[in-house]
């Protein structure tokens, strides 16, 4: 299996800056799928100190990445990028498996998994 999530070079640059700022050097970047959001599922990006037994682990541009095996199929082919605009910058997530997305940009559903929608703020 290929790496389920591609972290672009621009995104890893900003992840490394966040790791330094938050004193998270040596941590993993965890990409996850959680229930909730307007469309039923939400993305999670955060830091983890340890790899768990059900994690897929790989390195991209020097960043160690973790994805739960159960999330891998939902995230397969997903690209995490960082883009700058006139309004500032932020991470973007492009998931080819998403069949519906919410305007908030972090909520989605796939044909295989709808999740349980919750109110979007």
**Pairwise CA distance, residues 10 & 82, whole Å:** 6
Encode the chain (121 residues) as per-residue pLDDT tens digits: 589 999 999 999 999 999 999 888 889 999 998 876 665 678 889 999 999 999 999 999 999 999 999 999 889 999 999 998 878 888 988 888 876 666 555 555 555 554 444 544 4
State residue 111's pLDDT score.
53
From residue 60, how far is each of 45, 57, 87, 111 by CA, in Å?
A: 15, 10, 28, 28
State residue 11's pLDDT score.
96
**Pairwise CA distance, residues 25 & 49, whole Å:** 10
State residue 43's pLDDT score.
85
* Nearest-10 Cα torsion for 68, 22, 11, 102: 60
Map residue 69 onto helix, strand or coil: helix
**Pairwise CA distance, residues 115 & 40, whole Å:** 4
> Which residues pair with residue 13 across a beta bridge?
none
**Pairwise CA distance, residues 7 & 37, whole Å:** 23
State residue 114's pLDDT score.
47
**Pairwise CA distance, residues 42 & 101, whole Å:** 10
State residue 88's pLDDT score.
82
**Pairwise CA distance, residues 72 & 10, whole Å:** 22
State residue 72's pLDDT score.
93
């Amino acid at each position: 299996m290929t790496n389920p999530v591609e972290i672009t070079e621009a995104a890893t640059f900003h992840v490394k800056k966040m790791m330094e700022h938050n004193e998270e050097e040596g941590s993993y970047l965890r990409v996850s799928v959680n229930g909730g959001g307007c469309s039923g599922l939400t993305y999670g990006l955060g830091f983890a100190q340890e790899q768990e037994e059900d994690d897929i682990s790989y390195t991209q541009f020097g960043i160690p990445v973790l994805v739960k095996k159960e999330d891998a199929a939902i995230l397969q082919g997903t690209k995490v990028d960082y883009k700058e605009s006139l309004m500032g910058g932020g991470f973007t997530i492009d998931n080819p498996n998403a069949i519906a997305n919410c305007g908030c940009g972090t909520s989605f559903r796939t044909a295989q998994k709808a999740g349980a929608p919750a109110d979007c703020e």
